[in-house]
Structure 1
Amino acid sequence: MSTSPIQNQLTELQQEAVQAITTTDNLDNLEQFRIKYLGKKGQLSQILRGMGKLSPEERPQVGALANEVKEAIQGKLDNQKAALEKTQIETQIKAETLDVTMPGVSRPLGKVHPLNGVVDRVLDIFVGLGYTVATGPQVESDYYNFEALNTPADHPARDMQDTFYLPGGNLLRTHTSSVQIRYMENNEPPIRIIAPGRVYRRDTVDATHSAVFNQLELLAVDKGLKFTDLKGTIKEFLQRMFGDELPVQFRTSYFPFTEPSAEVDVQWKGKWLEVMGCGMVDPNVLKAVGYDPEVYSGFAAGFGVERFAMVLHQIDDIRRLYNSDLRFLTQF
């Protein structure tokens, strides 16, 4: 029995569709083939529009063949889609696989800089002694940096603390004593504070000096404080900081904001090294902040963090602390 032209078209369509679907490796292309062959306006629908010209005997045969062709194409589409999705997943898994046997990419942990370590250690000691941490601005007025600290404009002590002067009469502070003035203006005795911060002075840089350095100052104001209280506080602090074996001496000195005043030296590498200045708060300083010096007395002390770091870690040159040399810093 001969086949009709429409049956031949259906057979050719199946062969063409199966071949095209088998060779595609892209899900988007696969969807385009589904529309091309099985869509409402696809080739199968176009062929079946000619069934109206068939005889009643041919229509059942062509209809059955059309269903077989449709099922064959749809089955091939489903199988190819499943295969492509599986391949896509396997490729993604392979690309994203983490090999847990490979060495990890590590970042070295940072360490506390020796200067920060000293500051933290000092603050822990004084907070344990009942002191409060106070801070203030690095750019100061002449009043807070000098005048309120009993150092008027014509005072020779200013020559020892020459600094960087800014427009508008401001300057970079030469000590954190300015923090003490600001704190006393806003608080009533009794007072016990420790003030850390960076300070600036015109100084010749060498193995033990720097124009920019870090300082810590302490202040205590109360009724009946004496120089013996100051010495006891400093000795207790230095013993906790360096141990009982470190020799300490007090040496008479002068500061415009304390009277009497003293330098504190420690023995370092066989010689005495000045590490602190201290004294009883001058009555004029107490008057400047509104305290009655007949009722209250106080003591103060200040020291450079760098000097303490040098003694604590046996560092021979202060400039090593600023060079950011990891070979040096990783030792601490």
Structure 2
Amino acid sequence: MNEVLIVGEDICQQVVGQADAFAAVEAVFAAMHRGEARNFPVVREALGHAEALYGFKSGFDRAGHVLGVKSGGYWPGNIERGLTNHQSTVFLFDPDTGQLSALVGGNYLTAVRTAASSAVSIAYLARKDARVLGMVGAGHQSTFQLRAAAVQRAFEKVVAWNPHPEMLPRLAAVAEELGLEFEAVSPQELGAQADVIITITSAFEPLLQADWIRPGTHLACMGTDTKGKMEVDPALLAKATVFTDEVAQSVTIGEAQHAVAQGLIRADDVTPIGAVINGNHPGRGKDADITLFDGTGVGLQDLAVASVAVQLASQRGLAGRAAL
């Protein structure tokens, strides 16, 4: 009989904090670059029902001894039901036997690992003197992004824009909580003020134009994870030094897909963030350089934070157990 640990959404929120997620994501990016962890091909399809996207992300981290799969997707009508639009569950398996070892709620962990990913990029690529944070998007994940980013630099102000401005108060409330000035601005003004910009939307068209972004800016583009999606002008990637979680995803389903398709950049122009973490790439060259992190969201991020959730929940006696 096989015992399976169960860590639900509420327990994940209790045990996994920003620092835990940051450390897990940083470590798995480094392992990916060393060739000690790899993601398997992503399956992501439109259901033709409820306007939903559904799929699987999986992989194996030999360094962390983590094997598993995240199953889930995006249901745009969920917010009207009082539910999170992103719904997912992580299944972890024993790498030595293949037996199921844990079931972990994936909704909170998806948000916190996505925020950790952009935070890692800010830590390694943003100018040290960055003081203004720009937020494009004000959905569920935006508050996680803001909280995680605020730890990485001594930000003094948040400027934000969202296609639906009535959603901006949620970001304003978090900024106030963090002691940061907040201003709702146009996309052009956001580009003119921000030292660091996070985009976290489900857009299929550019929300920021290349000539709106000033020299020295770092962008973390976190919303594009499907063929056809787009958050920024492809010409911006040609002006920037581009980094990503995984190159193969970046150029096929990430923000880089459009710049590559238009011949503005090549796959070789995109650098894994793990190369910077491991010290094999200098990251930002000059203060005036524009850097861009294409956060496509890889399965290994989910598995890493889910593994941490299981460890911490087990240590605190909070994990449920079931026999299979």
- For the criterion TM > 0.5, the same-fold answer is no
Q: Normalized per residue, which structure has more strand?
A: 2
Ranked by relative contact order (alpha carbons within 8 Å, sequence separation 6 or more), the top structure is 2
Q: Normalized per residue, which structure has more helix?
A: 1
TM bucket (normalised to shorter chain) is: under 0.3
* TM-score, reference length from structure 2: 0.25
